[in-house]
């Protein structure tokens, strides 16, 4: 490493977000401009450790060459850092913004000190690459004559398309929404991932020869694209449809107007923002309760605050995590600790408190005189013998006229897969082995959340890249894809 003692000389200094009060006034990205001096210092903190856990095992699923580009940033060799970054990651501008950075959780320095700011450095490298004009379209030199259809344009589908196109296959990506990007376009709000950033990469893929078909509801013939026909007309078919069936909350009053799934709310809000029209479901002047934490819950919080909600509360079933790793959560596993994300900080700035309420379970929704949602009844819970038990005497009622359900996803929809007759696993995901991605139907592959279940963007990219490798092997008998 360029600075072998850097980890002892410098402290962690993560790039700050824009001021919370200022960013609540718009849907612009929450990030501040990159500070090259700070980034060089943070790159110098990367240790010359014997085994870089950051890029393997519990760390980065796509095996990013993290120590190499940390060192190159320290040395000011940004172009070379970009080349290293693109060797393993098709879309570092996405992961640098929205990935929770499991690499930092497994950083060797993190055993005794705060880890290296890997995510900040990754984002800065790719942003510098675009700013300098180093990132350009690179079409394949020749075509193989093979045709591949990809259903779904989220991170798994896009990664697979990019890889397959790079070795000369003709790739067509089908997306049911009006814009390409899947989760990246409509599942993640603009302040965390500006849609111009997504479109910029889609435009590059289009320049390289990837064909995109939007408004394509692939299914059993009732949609705009028959999946059986796609299978027949393509040499290989990849299903990368994501896990889009949300976990519901089947309690009394669930059908009241005012109770909605988080993704319905986020999708409508982002689409309206891009189209320049009022959102179909707005939090403006409403008492909002978000049920469920995680990134999606935080995104609901941030969106509702920007839409000028009257009040905001976030229910979490689990107790508040500890400030530091618990004894049963050792390095290099992901640290299950208390974190304050951008939405929590913004909620505290606007209402004077962190919006989260822990160890609470929703019992029923309350109807108002007009038949719409007026509130919610809850009870506190505690863990007993590994299960949640209600705490007697803790029942409460909360005022709410908008409740957003953000409790995760159960698996993929089956309108695409049922007509093909592919097998499912016990959790309703498309059955296809990790590493092979082959379904029970010859020539049909599956990758991403529809195969592994709800997961991270970086895992979707990993599976898209690996599925492309196996599809190339299937089509050509061998492969040079990583």
pLDDT at 442 > cutoff 70:
yes
pLDDT at residue 221, as a whole number: 63
pLDDT digits (tens, 9 = 90+) for 60-118: 999 999 999 999 999 999 999 999 999 999 999 999 999 999 999 999 999 999 999 99
pLDDT at 222 > cutoff 70:
no
CB 317 within 8 A of CB 388: yes
Classified by CATH at the fold level, domain 248-407 comes out as: FAD/NAD(P)-binding domain (3.50.50)
Q: In the structure encoding, which two tokens stand for residue 308, read together?
A: 């000028």
Continuous segment of H or E residues that includes residue 411: strand 409-411
pLDDT at 304 > cutoff 80:
yes
Provide the pLDDT confidence category of residue 219 given band limits of 50, 70 and 90: confident
pLDDT at 43 > cutoff 70:
yes
- DSSP codes, 103-125: HHHT-GGGGTSPPP-HHHHHHHH
Provide the pLDDT confidence category of residue 53 given band limits of 50, 70 and 90: very high
Q: Which residues of 141-171 are buried (b: 16+ CB within 10 A; e: fewer)?
A: eeebebbbbbbbbbbbbbbbbbbbbbbbbbb
Distance separating alpha carbons of residues 213 and 223, to the nearest angstrom? 13
pLDDT at 220 > cutoff 70:
no
The average pLDDT across 55-61 equals: 89
Provide the pLDDT confidence category of residue 57 given band limits of 50, 70 and 90: confident
Per CATH, the architecture of 6-131 is what? Orthogonal Bundle (1.10)
Among the listed residues 458, 455, 454, the one whose alpha carbon sits nearest the alpha carbon of residue 412: 454
Domain residue limits, the chain: 6-131, 147-244+410-476, 248-407
Question: The pTM is what?
Answer: 0.96
The average pLDDT across 325-337 equals: 95
pLDDT at residue 3, as a whole number: 87
Classified by CATH at the fold level, domain 147-244+410-476 comes out as: FAD/NAD(P)-binding domain (3.50.50)
For residue 94, give the 3-state DSSP assignment. Answer: helix
pLDDT at residue 118, as a whole number: 97
pLDDT at 386 > cutoff 90:
no
Average pLDDT taken over every residue of the chain: 96
CB 354 within 8 A of CB 340: yes
* Whether the domain at 147-244+410-476 and the domain at 248-407 fall into the same CATH topology: yes
Among the listed residues 204, 93, 136, 127, the one whose alpha carbon sits nearest the alpha carbon of residue 458: 93
The average pLDDT across 295-299 equals: 97
CB 293 within 8 A of CB 317: no
Distance separating alpha carbons of residues 62 and 460, to the nearest angstrom? 10
pLDDT at 15 > cutoff 70:
yes
The average pLDDT across 354-372 equals: 97
Distance separating alpha carbons of residues 160 and 149, to the nearest angstrom? 10
The average pLDDT across 238-250 equals: 97
């Amino acid at each position: 490493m360029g600075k072998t003692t850097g980890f002892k000389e410098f402290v962690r200094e993560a790039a700050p977000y824009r001021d919370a009060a200022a960013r609540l006034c718009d849907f612009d990205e929450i990030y501040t401009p990159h500070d090259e001096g700070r980034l060089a210092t943070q790159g110098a903190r990367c240790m010359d450790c014997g085994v870089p856990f950051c890029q393997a095992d519990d760390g980065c699923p796509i095996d990013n060459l993290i120590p190499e580009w940390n060192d190159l940033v320290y040395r000011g060799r940004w172009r070379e850092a970009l080349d290293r970054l693109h060797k393993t990651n098709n879309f570092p501008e996405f992961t640098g913004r929205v990935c929770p950075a499991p690499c930092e959780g497994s950083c060797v320095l993190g055993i005794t000190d705060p880890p290296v700011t890997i995510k900040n450095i990754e984002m800065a490298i790719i942003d510098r690459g675009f700013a300098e004009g180093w990132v350009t379209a690179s079409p394949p030199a020749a075509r193989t004559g093979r045709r591949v259809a990809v259903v779904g344009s989220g991170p798994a589908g896009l990664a697979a398309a990019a890889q397959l196109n790079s070795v000369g296959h003709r790739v067509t990506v089908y997306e049911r929404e009006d814009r390409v990007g899947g989760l990246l376009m409509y599942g993640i709000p603009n302040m965390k991932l500006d849609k111009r950033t997504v479109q910029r990469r889609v435009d590059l893929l289009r320049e390289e020869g990837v064909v995109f078909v939007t408004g394509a509801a692939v299914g059993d013939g009732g949609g705009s694209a028959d999946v059986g026909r796609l299978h027949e007309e393509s040499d290989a078919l990849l299903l990368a449809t994501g896990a889009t069936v949300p976990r519901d909350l089947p309690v009394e009053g669930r059908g009241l107007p005012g109770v909605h799934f988080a993704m319905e709310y986020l999708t409508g809000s982002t689409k309206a923002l891009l189209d320049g029209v009022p959102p179909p479901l707005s939090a403006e002047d409403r008492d909002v309760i978000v049920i469920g934490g995680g990134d999606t819950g935080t995104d609901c919080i941030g969106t509702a605050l920007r839409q000028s909600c009257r009040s905001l509360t976030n229910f979490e079933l689990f107790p508040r995590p500890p400030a530091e790793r618990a004894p049963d959560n050792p390095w290099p596993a992901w640290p299950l600790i208390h974190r304050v994300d951008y939405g929590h900080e913004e909620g505290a700035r606007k209402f004077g408190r962190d919006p989260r309420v822990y160890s609470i379970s929703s019992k029923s929704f309350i109807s108002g005189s007009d038949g719409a949602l007026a509130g919610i009844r809850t009870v506190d819970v505690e863990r007993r013998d590994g299960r949640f038990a209600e705490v007697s005497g803790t029942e409460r009622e909360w005022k709410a006229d908008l409740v957003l359900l953000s409790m995760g996803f159960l698996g993929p929809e089956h309108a695409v897969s049922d007509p093909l007759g592919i097998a499912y696993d016990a959790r309703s995901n498309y059955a296809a082995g990790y590493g092979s991605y082959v379904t029970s139907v010859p020539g049909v592959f599956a990758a991403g959340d529809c195969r592994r279940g709800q997961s991270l963007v970086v895992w979707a990219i990993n599976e898209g890249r690996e599925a492309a490798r196996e599809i190339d092997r299937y089509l050509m008998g061998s492969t040079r894809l990583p």
